[in-house]
């Protein structure tokens, strides 16, 4: 990418998109094209077509998506598959028809089978059944991957797909209903400390393991791959290490300074037992994560306290 290239970051207000924008600006890319959801509804094909026709976009980071935790996925399966299929179909097709030089589609490690061998290698895609709690979202992401690959084969486009592991960072979603496990726990422990609650409830048994990648690391990886990767195969982005949810809870308890007890609500489904990604492909391409989990949690907690903390 040239420093003057017109770059569209779809979903620039979200956790991932905002980190990509920040990374681009730090590296001297300032010709960025950004639109809020009210300014451009990516679910509307006509709006997307007009946008690409008018803006002469050269590069696209497709980070826009409807996302959420287990509760939201369980209660809104139709919205998760419909909205994500619409968003990615409109953007990918418009990028092709308007001559975009290169596009990056951001998927998710939920595309891999629930009981796939660990760590998750890219070639495990479509080798088994998905985790039921987020299957509609995963199916949409798998369709986006296949769409990019199909356009590359038929039209000679340069559309690449990356699969980030669980992401956390500043500008995360801390809503207890729709957020993912790490920001939800961070808010729970913070509010318990502020309110003097004797215990914090963690959903599930605490036994599942998850991998967590800081959004700043992900953004750097995305820029690196946009400039150095041209393959048609998907690429995992992760740390290569994971942690049990119960140990994550203990770490967040330490970071927030909460002194009460932790209880586990085992009536809530655990989801996938483990989701550790194999990062040998991206490491071989020359990129590795640099932000440790505890350091990253301190960073996110400081942002939470400044921006999102519920006032007494």
Would residue 203 count as lying in a domain?
no
Annotated catalytic residues are: 137
Would residue 194 count as lying in a domain?
no
Q: Which residues are annotated as a binding site for NADP(+)?
A: 11-17, 106-109, 141, 164-167, 180
Token readout for 177 is 């209903």
Q: Which residues are annotated as a binding site for substrate?
A: 188, 203, 210, 270
Report how far residue 166's alpha carbon sits from residue 276's, in angstroms, rounded to the nearest whole number: 10
Q: Which residues are annotated as a binding site?
A: 11-17, 106-109, 141, 164-167, 180, 188, 203, 210, 270
Structure pTM? 0.93
**Position 292 confidence tier, pLDDT thresholds 50, 70, 90:** very high
Would residue 186 count as lying in a domain?
no
Neighbours of 136 (CB within 10 A): 20
> Please, what's the b/e burial string for 286-301 (b: 16 or more CB within 10 A of its CB; e: otherwise)?
ebebebebeebbebbb
Decide: residue 259, CB within 10 A, 0-12 exposed, 13-18 middle, 19+ buried: exposed
- The pLDDT tens digits of the residues spanning 43-67 come to 999 999 999 999 999 999 999 999 8
Of 234, 70, 205, 210, whose CA–CA distance to 141 is shortest?
A: 234
Neighbours of 187 (CB within 10 A): 22
Q: Can you give the pLDDT at residue 309?
A: 56
Would residue 148 count as lying in a domain?
yes
- The pLDDT tens digits of the residues spanning 101-136 come to 999 999 999 999 988 999 999 999 999 999 888 899
DSSP-assigned beta bridge partners for residue 275? 210
Would residue 206 count as lying in a domain?
no
Would residue 121 count as lying in a domain?
yes
> What is the domain extent for residue 136?
7-170+211-241+275-291
Would residue 178 count as lying in a domain?
no
Total number of domains in the chain: 1
CATH code (residue 107): 3.40.50.720
| pLDDT averaged over every residue in the chain | 94
Q: Can you give the pLDDT at residue 68?
A: 77
Q: Can you give the pLDDT at residue 202?
A: 95
The C-alpha R_g of the chain, in whole angstroms, comes to: 19
Would residue 312 count as lying in a domain?
no
Which of 140-144, 223-227, 269-273 has the lowest average pLDDT? 269-273
Q: Can you give the pLDDT at residue 35?
A: 98
Report how far residue 162's alpha carbon sits from residue 220's, in angstroms, rounded to the nearest whole number: 13
H helices of the chain, in order, are 15-26, 45-55, 70-75, 77-97, 135-155, 181-195, 215-228, 245-256, 280-284, 293-307
């Amino acid at each position: 990418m040239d420093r003057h290239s017109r770059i569209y970051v779809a979903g620039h207000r979200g956790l991932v998109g905002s980190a990509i924008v920040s990374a681009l600006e730090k590296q001297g890319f300032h010709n960025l094209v950004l639109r809020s959801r009210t300014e451009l509804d990516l679910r509307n094909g006509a709006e997307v077509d007009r946008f690409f026709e008018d803006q002469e976009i050269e590069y696209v980071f497709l980070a826009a998506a409807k996302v959420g935790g287990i509760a939201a996925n369980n209660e809104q399966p139709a919205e998760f598959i419909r909205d994500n299929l619409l968003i990615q179909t409109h953007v990918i097709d418009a990028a092709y028809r308007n001559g975009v030089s290169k596009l990056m589609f951001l998927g998710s490690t939920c595309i891999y089978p629930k009981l796939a061998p660990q760590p998750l290698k890219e070639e495990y895609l479509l080798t088994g059944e998905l985790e039921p709690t987020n299957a509609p979202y995963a199916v949409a992401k798998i369709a986006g991957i296949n769409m990019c690959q199909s356009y590359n084969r038929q039209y000679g486009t340069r559309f690449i797909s990356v699969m980030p592991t669980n992401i956390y960072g500043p500008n995360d979603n801390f809503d207890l209903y729709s957020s993912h496990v790490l920001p939800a726990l961070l808010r729970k422990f913070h509010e318990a400390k502020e309110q003097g609650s004797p215990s914090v409830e963690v959903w599930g048994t605490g036994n599942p393991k998850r991998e967590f990648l800081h959004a700043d690391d992900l953004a750097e990886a995305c820029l690196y791959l946009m400039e150095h990767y041209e393959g048609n195969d998907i690429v995992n982005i992760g740390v290569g290490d994971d942690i049990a949810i119960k140990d994550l809870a203990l770490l967040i308890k330490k970071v927030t300074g909460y002194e009460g007890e932790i209880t586990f609500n085992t009536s809530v489904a655990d989801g996938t037992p483990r989701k550790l990604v194999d990062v040998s492909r991206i490491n071989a391409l020359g990129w590795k994560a640099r932000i440790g989990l505890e350091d990253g949690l301190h960073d996110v907690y400081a942002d939470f306290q400044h921006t999102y903390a519920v006032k007494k």
